[in-house]
């Protein structure tokens, strides 16, 4: 991923948009700190869903949180009754 200062981005916006249209992602910085990202429209960052679920479960175990003996399916069915 390319980084560019905001002042340079202002002067080269047309060229930057052409690069982004070809799939490149560009980070715009101010004083060396990222403030924005140019990315192709509709591009979404990939999320590793199984990893996120695993991290959530590990966090819940560390916090001692439980479902009180219920299973997720029972909670779903309970919600449908109301």
pLDDT tens digits along 64-76: 887 778 888 888 8
CATH of 2-38, one of 3.40.50, 1.20.1280, 3.30.70, 3.40.1620: 3.40.1620
- Residue 69 is predicted with a pLDDT of 81
Point out the residues of the chain with pLDDT beneath 70: 43-45, 82
Q: 36 to each of 19, 30, 41, 52, 63, how far by Cα in Å?
A: 16, 9, 14, 25, 35
Enumerate the CATH 3.40.1620 domain ranges in the chain, comma separated: 2-38
pTM here? 0.51
Q: How many CA atoms lie within 13 A of 59 on its CB side?
A: 6
pLDDT of residue 43: 63
Percentage of the chain beyond pLDDT 90 is: 49
Residue 6, pLDDT score: 95
């Amino acid at each position: 991923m390319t980084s560019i200062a905001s002042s340079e981005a202002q002067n080269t916006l047309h060229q930057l948009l052409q690069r982004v249209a070809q799939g490149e992602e560009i980070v715009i910085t101010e004083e060396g700190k990222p403030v924005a990202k140019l990315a192709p429209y509709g591009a979404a960052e990939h999320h590793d869903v199984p990893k996120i679920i695993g991290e959530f479960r590990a966090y819940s175990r560390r916090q001692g949180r439980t479902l009180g003996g219920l299973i997720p399916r029972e909670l779903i069915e309970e919600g449908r009754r109301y």
